[in-house]
Amino acid sequence: MEYALRVKDVSKVYRLYNKPADRLKESLSPFKKIYHKEYYALKNLSFDVKRGECVGLLGVNGAGKSTVLKIITGVLNPTSGEVEVNGKISALLELGAGFNPEYTGIENIYLNGTLLGFTREEIDARIDEILAFADIGDFVYQPVKTYSSGMFVRLAFAVAINIDPEILIVDEALSVGDVFFQAKCYKKFDDFKKSGKTILLVTHSLSSVSKYCDRVVVLDAGQKLDEGEPSEMIDLYKKLLVNDRGATAPIEEEVENDDVPAAGEEWKTKLSLNPNIDSYGNGDAEITDFAILDEKGRLGSHVTKGEYCTIKMKIKFNADVKDPIFAFTIVNLQGTDITGTNTMYEGIDTGLVKKGEVRTATFRQKIDIQGGEYLISFGCTGFRDGEFVVYHRLYRAVDISVVSDRNTVGFYDMNSEASVK
C-alpha cells in the first residue's frame, strides 16, 4: 500500500446555538424550525501521506489542525467524508489522555498501550525500553495521582513514542519536560525519521517543519489552502500570520516610506506583541511603532537563520533632544541578552531632534543566532549634561521567531567549515 493516510473530502460541522434552550426548541419544533448556525471546523478537506513520508500541517489557531488529527485517530467522527489509515498509529496529542490516576505507572502503560491497539505481548516486549525512556525510577509502581506534572508527561510520552508504531502523529508534544528530556524526545523523533516511519507533524515551530518535513499542507478556516515544499509553505504561512491571504509582493516599499500602512494600521499590529510590555522612561521621546521584515521585505515575526532581516522603530519626540541613541536588543525567553546594537555603536550622528519631530531608525541585520523563539527590546536613550538618560524603553516588546533547519552549539552559529581526512 503506497499511502499510510488518506483524508478524503472530510467535513466536520458543529451546530452552534445562542442559548441552551434553543437546542430543545429545535428538537420539539413541529415545523422543523432551525435555531442553530452551522460552523465548519473542516470543509471538504483532502490530503494524502505516503509511507515513510513526514508531512507537516500548518495553520493559524482555528484552522482545523487539531480537529483533523482527532478524526484521523478516531477521537471524533467526521460529518462527511472518510479517512483511510493503513498501519498502527501512535498519537502524541493530549499526553496522558486515558491514564487512570488511581492506577500505577506500570498499570497505565498497559492500559494506554491497549488503547493504542497493541497486545499485552507487544507491550511486554517494549516495557523495559519504555521505563528507561521515562526514567522516573520506582515512582512507576506508585499511583499516577502522586506524580508531579513533569513525571506524568515523561511517562505518557515514553509510552506513546516507544510503542513502535507504523504511523506517528505529533501535535506540539516534543517540548515536554526539562531540557535533557526534550533532547531525548528529539533524538527519538530523529530515529523515527531516519528509520522511514510515517510522521504527521503539527507544530508552530517553523524550524521543526523546515528540518523534518518532506512536504507541508497549509490549512486555513478548515480548508486546504495549499500544499508543497516546506520553504514555499512556510512563506505562505507567514502571510497567514499577518492576515495576508492575497498579497504576494514584498511590503518593504510600504514600510520604507515611513508612513502608516495604507490600511491605516501600525506596523506592530502585524507582529506577535508581548501583552505585558515593560515600558518606561522620562517621556521626552516615545517609541510609537516598530517593524520586523524578513529578507523578502515581508512584515511579520518570523525570520530565517542565515538570511538578512530589517528591524525598524519609529520615535516621536516630545521635547528637544540632542544626539538621541536608538537601540534594539534581542533577548532569549529566560531574559538573557543575546545581542543588540545602537546608533552610537554604529557611529551614526543623530544630531538635534526638535520637539514634534518623528524619526525612524533602521537596522539591517544578518541572522546567525540559533533557531528558536526570542524577544526584542527597543530603546531611545542619550546623555544630558553628562548623565545617561532613558527617554523611552520598551522591554521584551515583541516576539521574533528564527526559523532554522540546522542549529549548532550555543547562541550563535560560527558558520564553520568542517572536513575530515
Candidates 3.40.50.720, 3.40.50.300, 3.90.1640.10, 3.30.70.20; correct CATH number of 3-240? 3.40.50.300
| Cell numbers representing residue 226 in the block | 495549499
**Residue 305: C-alpha distances to residues 366, 404, 413 (Å):** 8, 5, 9
Bridge pairing between strands 36-50 and 167-171: unpaired
Instruction: Measure the CA angle with vertex 263, ends 262 and 266; round to 5°.
Output: 90
Let me know: does 404 contact 304? Beta carbons within 8 Å: yes
> Cell numbers at residue 47, please?
490530503
Predicted local confidence at residue 258, as pLDDT: 41
- DSSP E strand boundaries for 139-280: 167-171, 198-202, 215-220, 223-228, 278-280
Q: How many CB atoms are closer than 10 A to CB 248?
A: 9
The set of cell numbers assigned to 131 is 521505563
Given its phi and psi angles, is residue 122 left (phi above 0), alpha (psi -120 to 50 degrees) or beta?
alpha
The pLDDT assigned to 392 comes to 97
Per-residue pLDDT of the chain (421 residues; tens, 9 = 90+): 589 999 999 999 998 888 888 888 778 888 888 888 888 999 999 999 999 899 999 998 889 998 998 899 888 999 999 999 998 887 776 666 668 889 999 998 988 888 777 888 888 988 998 998 888 888 999 998 898 877 887 888 888 778 777 888 887 666 666 666 777 777 877 888 888 889 998 887 788 888 889 999 999 989 999 999 998 898 888 888 776 554 433 334 444 444 344 445 799 998 989 888 999 999 999 999 999 999 989 899 999 999 999 999 999 999 999 999 999 999 988 788 999 999 999 999 999 999 999 999 999 999 999 988 899 999 999 999 999 999 999 999 999 999 988 888 889 999 899 999 9
Indicate the CATH number of 252-403 among 2.70.50.60, 3.20.20.80, 3.30.300.210, 2.60.120.260: 2.70.50.60
Residue 30 CA to residue 52 CA, distance in Å, equals 54
Strands 372-384 and 325-332: antiparallel
**What DSSP element (H or E) covers 295?**
none
Give the DSSP letter of residue 296. Answer: T
Is it true that 3-240 and 252-403 share their CATH fold? no
Q: Hey, what's the cell of 263?
A: 490600511
Quote the pLDDT of residue 178.
Answer: 64
Domain parsing of the chain, residue ranges: 3-240, 252-403
- pLDDT for res 122: 87
Whole-model pTM: value is 0.74
Alpha helices in 8-144 (DSSP H): 20-28, 65-72, 105-115, 120-134
